[in-house]
């Protein structure tokens, strides 16, 4: 009887935690309805990339294999949704901390990890909405996916995992800095820097020689290259290990990012004052 009782208690605890996570994720989505500008902040950068850069420079930029520049840019614009979400997530976490809401959560009889997990899932839904908007805009200006349903789903799955990893980077940033102005500046530098120091906008072999190793080992390049290959977009065939094996680099990078950012976030949340 004691074994059955213990198993039932564990199931009840897990069920309670799931309910708490879903409730807190719902709170994040309700907050989005009151502050829709947050969705705009995540969507604006990818839209500018696809609509402005993709359309204006479609005949000026030479891409590997002589392909279409909007098709080449399409995965990069979707990847930018993840980068653009770092600062808004961090600012939301810092606002909760500075406004005392986090202290109220910690005083309630809820599982502490549920607060951050619920926050991350709510922001993931917001990111998915931004992805859908960017996809629709990208298709209007020439973005295309080749190769069938499975590569299409595989590419989107990779983009969603990248998005979720960046959300946890944002959570850690918000818990660490707690200053919205500083977070906004760091988020902008990270988003633009990681994008421009990669193969997002042009082939790596067109960058200055001293920048090529940096761009090649940039995880953003590996994510973008992996999605391009799955979607049948021409990519550069020369380069080192990251270019030849982007899937390996992506897997290692995203796993390490999720584990490190998640672990440090939970630790900071437990000890923060």
Does residue 195 sit in helix, strand or coil?
Answer: helix
Residues with Cβ within 8 Å of 203's Cβ and at least 6 positions away in sequence, in order, are 62, 63, 64, 236
Is residue 115 assigned to a domain? yes
Does residue 202 sit in helix, strand or coil?
Answer: coil
Is residue 92 assigned to a domain? yes
Q: Which domain holds residue 136?
A: 39-57+67-271
Does residue 200 sit in helix, strand or coil?
Answer: coil
Is residue 133 assigned to a domain? yes
pLDDT of residue 4: 43
Which tens digit of pLDDT belongs to each residue from 137-190? Answer: 888 888 888 888 899 999 999 999 999 999 999 999 999 988 888 998 898 888
pLDDT of residue 1: 44
CA dist 199 and 206 (Å) reads: 9
Is residue 34 assigned to a domain? no
258 confidence band (pLDDT: 50, 70, 90):
very high
Is residue 212 assigned to a domain? yes
CA dist 91 and 201 (Å) reads: 28
Look at the chain and report how many structural domains it folds into: 1
Residues with Cβ within 8 Å of 25's Cβ and at least 6 positions away in sequence, in order, are 118, 119, 121, 122, 125
Is residue 45 assigned to a domain? yes
């Amino acid at each position: 009887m004691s074994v059955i009782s213990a198993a039932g208690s564990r199931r009840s605890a897990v069920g309670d935690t799931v309910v708490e996570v879903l409730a807190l994720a719902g709170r994040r989505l309700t907050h989005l309805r009151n502050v829709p500008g947050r969705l705009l902040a995540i969507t604006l950068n990818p839209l500018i990339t696809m609509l402005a850069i993709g359309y204006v420079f479609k005949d000026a930029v030479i891409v590997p294999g002589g392909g279409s520049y909007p098709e080449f840019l399409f995965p990069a614009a979707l990847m930018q949704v993840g980068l653009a979400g770092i600062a808004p997530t961090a600012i939301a976490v810092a606002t909760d901390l500075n406004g005392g809401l986090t202290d109220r959560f910690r005083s309630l009889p809820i599982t502490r990890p549920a607060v951050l997990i619920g926050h991350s899932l709510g922001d993931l839904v917001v990111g998915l909405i931004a992805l859908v908007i960017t996809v629709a805009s990208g298709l209007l200006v020439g973005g295309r996916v080749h190769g069938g349903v499975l590569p299409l789903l595989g590419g989107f799955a990779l983009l969603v995992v990248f998005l979720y990893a960046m959300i946890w980077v944002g959570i850690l940033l918000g818990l660490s800095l707690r200053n919205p102005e500083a977070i906004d500046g760091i988020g902008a530098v990270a988003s633009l820097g990681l994008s421009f120091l990669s193969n997002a906008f042009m082939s790596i072999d067109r960058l200055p020689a001293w920048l090529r190793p940096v761009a090649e080992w940039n995880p953003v390049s590996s994510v973008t290259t992996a999605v391009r290959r799955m979607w049948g977009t021409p990519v550069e065939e020369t380069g080192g290990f990251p270019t030849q094996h982007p899937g390996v680099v992506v897997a290692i990078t995203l796993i390490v990012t999720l584990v490190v950012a998640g672990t440090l976030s939970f630790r900071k949340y437990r000890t923060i004052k």
